[in-house]
C-alpha cells in the first residue's frame, strides 16, 4: 500500500514538472516578438516576388555578352593560356569591349578553359611542344641465364614514337653512351634540340656538357621520383619485355641485340601506336581504305603477327 502511494506521488510530481514546462513554452510563444518577426519576413518576401512579377524585365541588370565578344575571349585564352580573367578583361577594354572579370571567368568555365591557378608555370607538355625535335633516353635491364644483369639503352623520338636506337651491354659507361648517340644520329639529317633523361649517375653533369659540346643538345633531367615525365620510354620498356624478351632466355648481349634489332624494325614499320591514333611511326602515308586482299606477316620468329595489304582496289 505504501509503495503504491509513493508511485502515485512520483507520477504527480513528474506530471506537474512537464505541465509547468508546457505553460512556460506557451507563454513565451505568445509574448515573444519572434513569431511576429517571422510573419513580417514572409510578408516582405511575398511582396518582393509580387513586385518582380509585375515589373518590366526589359533593360534590367547587366547587358548580355554578345557572341562576338565571347569569341574574342576564347581566342585570347587560346593564344595566351597563362592569362587570367582580369588580364583578358583589360585586353578587351583596349578595343572598347567592357566585360567584367566575372563574366570572362564565367564563359571560360562554360567552354572548359578555366582560369589557371595562381603562380602556375608552364606545363611539361607545353614545354615539350615548344621544341621541334626531341628525344628521350633511358636504361632498362634483364637478368641473363648466368645471373648477370644486362643493361639495355633506349632512345625514342618523342614526336613520332620512332625507336631511334637500342643496344645492350653488361657495364655501360660514359664513352659507350656517347658512342650510342653517334650511332643513332649517323643517318639523321639534323640533331635533336632536346633530350629527356632521368637522374641516373651515368647521365650526370659531365654527360650534359658532352651533349652540348658534341651535338648541341640540351639535356633536361626529370624531377626526382617522377618517372611519368619520361613516360614514353618507361612504357616502351614494358612493351619490349612483354612482347620481345618474355619469349626468350637471355644469354649474351649479342643475342639480346639481335632480338631488339628485329623488334625495332617491327616497332617502327608495322606496329600501330595508340598515341599516334593508330598510325605507324615511319609510315607517313594514310592507310589504304579499299583493301581487296591482305596477308599475315610474322615477326620475331612467329612471336608477333601483323596484317599487310596485298591488293588495293583502284
Q: ∠185-187-190 over CA atoms, to 5°?
A: 60
Q: Could you report the per-residue pLDDT of 136-195, keeping only the tens digit for each? A: 999 999 999 999 999 999 999 988 889 999 999 999 988 899 999 989 888 777 888 899
Task: Answer yes or no: is pLDDT of 294 > 80.
Answer: no
What does the DSSP assignment read for 281-314?
TT--SPPPS-EEEEEEEEETTTTEEEEEEEEE--
**Would you state the pLDDT for residue 256?**
93
**Would you state the pLDDT for residue 266?**
87
**Would you state the pLDDT for residue 198?**
92
**Would you state the pLDDT for residue 99?**
87
Is 85 in contact with 108 (CB distance < 8 Å)? yes
Q: CA–CA distance from 201 to each of 57, 143, 158, 173, 224 (Å)?
A: 71, 21, 23, 10, 13
Chain-centre distance for alpha carbon 166 = 28
Task: Answer yes or no: is pLDDT of 292 > 60.
Answer: no
Q: What b/e string do you get for 104-122 counting C-beta neighbours within 10 Å, with b at 16 or more?
A: bbebbeeeeeebeeeeeee
Q: What are phi and psi of 84, to 5 degrees?
A: -100, -175
Task: Answer yes or no: is pLDDT of 313 > 60.
Answer: no
**Would you state the pLDDT for residue 66?**
86
**Would you state the pLDDT for residue 280?**
76
Q: Alpha-carbon distance 151 to 167, whole Å?
A: 8
Angle 205-215/174-184 helices, nearest 10 degrees? 30
User: pLDDT band at residue 7, thresholds of 50, 70 and 90?
Assistant: low
Task: Answer yes or no: is pLDDT of 59 > 60.
Answer: no
Least-confidence region, from 59-63, 154-158, 186-190, 261-265 = 59-63
Q: Alpha-carbon distance 297 to 290, whole Å?
A: 19
Q: CA–CA distance from 287 to each of 239, 293, 312 (Å)?
A: 24, 14, 11
Q: CA–CA distance from 55 to each of 50, 60, 61, 63, 170 (Å)?
A: 8, 10, 13, 18, 86
Helices (H), 32-66: 34-54
What residues pair up with 276 in beta bridges, in sequence order? Answer: none
**Would you state the pLDDT for residue 151?**
95
- Tell me the mean pLDDT in the region 278-301: 66
Q: Alpha-carbon distance 236 to 227, whole Å?
A: 13
User: pLDDT band at residue 259, thresholds of 50, 70 and 90?
Assistant: very high
Q: What would the grid cell of residue 216 be?
A: 648541341
Let me know if 151 is exposed, middle or buried by CB neighbors in 10 A (0-12, 13-18, 19+). Answer: middle
Q: Could you give the 3-state DSSP secondary structure of residue 149?
A: strand
Q: Could you report the per-residue pLDDT of 12-54, keeping only the tens digit for each? A: 655 666 667 666 666 666 666 666 666 677 767 777 777 766 6
Fold adopted by 127-276? Nucleotidyltransferase; domain 5 (3.30.420)
Task: Answer yes or no: is pLDDT of 111 > 80.
Answer: yes
Q: Could you give the 3-state DSSP secondary structure of residue 235?
A: helix
Let me know if 135 is exposed, middle or buried by CB neighbors in 10 A (0-12, 13-18, 19+). Answer: buried
Task: Answer yes or no: is pLDDT of 276 > 60.
Answer: yes
**Would you state the pLDDT for residue 267?**
87
Q: Alpha-carbon distance 135 to 196, whole Å?
A: 6
Name the strand (E) or helix (H) holding 108. helix 101-110
- Tell me the mean pLDDT in the region 234-254: 90
Is 257 in contact with 167 (CB distance < 8 Å)? yes
User: pLDDT band at residue 227, thresholds of 50, 70 and 90?
Assistant: confident
User: pLDDT band at residue 124, thresholds of 50, 70 and 90?
Assistant: confident
Residue-averaged pLDDT of the chain: 80
Is 212 in contact with 218 (CB distance < 8 Å)? yes
Which residue would you say has higher pLDDT here, 299 or 231?
A: 231
Amino acid at each position: 500500500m505504501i509503495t503504491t502511494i509513493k508511485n502515485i506521488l512520483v507520477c504527480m510530481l513528474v506530471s506537474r514538472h512537464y505541465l509547468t514546462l508546457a505553460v512556460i513554452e506557451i507563454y513565451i510563444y505568445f509574448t515573444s516578438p519572434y513569431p511576429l518577426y517571422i510573419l513580417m519576413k514572409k510578408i516582405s518576401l511575398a511582396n518582393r516576388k509580387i513586385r518582380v512579377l509585375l515589373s518590366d524585365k526589359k533593360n534590367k541588370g547587366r547587358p548580355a555578352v554578345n557572341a562576338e565578344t565571347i569569341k574574342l575571349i576564347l581566342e585570347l585564352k587560346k593564344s595566351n593560356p597563362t592569362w587570367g580573367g582580369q588580364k583578358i578583361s583589360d585586353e578587351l577594354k583596349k578595343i572598347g569591349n567592357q566585360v567584367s572579370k566575372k563574366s570572362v571567368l564565367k564563359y571560360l568555365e562554360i567552354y572548359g578553359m578555366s582560369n589557371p591557378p595562381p603562380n602556375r608555370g608552364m606545363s611539361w607538355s607545353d614545354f615539350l611542344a615548344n621544341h621541334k625535335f626531341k628525344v628521350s633516353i633511358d636504361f632498362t635491364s634483364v637478368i641473363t641465364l648466368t645471373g648477370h644483369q644486362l643493361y639495355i639503352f633506349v632512345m625514342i623520338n618523342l614526336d613520332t614514337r620512332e625507336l631511334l636506337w637500342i643496344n645492350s651491354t653488361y657495364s655501360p659507361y660514359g664513352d659507350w653512351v656517347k658512342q650510342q648517340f653517334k650511332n643513332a644520329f649517323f643517318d639523321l639529317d639534323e640533331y635533336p634540340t632536346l633530350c629527356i633523361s632521368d637522374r641516373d649517375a651515368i647521365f650526370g653533369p659531365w654527360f650534359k656538357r658532352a651533349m652540348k659540346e658534341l651535338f648541341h643538345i640540351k639535356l633536361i633531367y626529370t624531377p626526382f621520383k617522377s618517372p611519368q615525365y619520361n613516360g614514353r620510354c618507361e612504357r616502351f620498356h614494358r612493351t619490349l619485355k612483354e612482347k620481345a624478351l618474355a619469349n626468350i632466355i637471355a644469354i649474351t648481349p649479342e643475342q639480346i641485340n639481335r632480338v631488339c634489332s628485329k623488334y625495332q624494325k617491327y616497332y617502327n614499320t608495322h606496329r600501330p601506336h595508340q598515341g599516334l591514333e593508330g598510325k605507324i611511326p615511319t609510315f607517313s602515308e594514310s592507310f589504304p581504305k579499299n583493301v581487296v586482299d591482305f596477308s599475315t606477316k610474322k615477326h620475331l620468329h612467329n612471336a608477333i603477327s601483323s596484317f599487310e595489304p596485298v591488293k588495293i582496289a583502284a
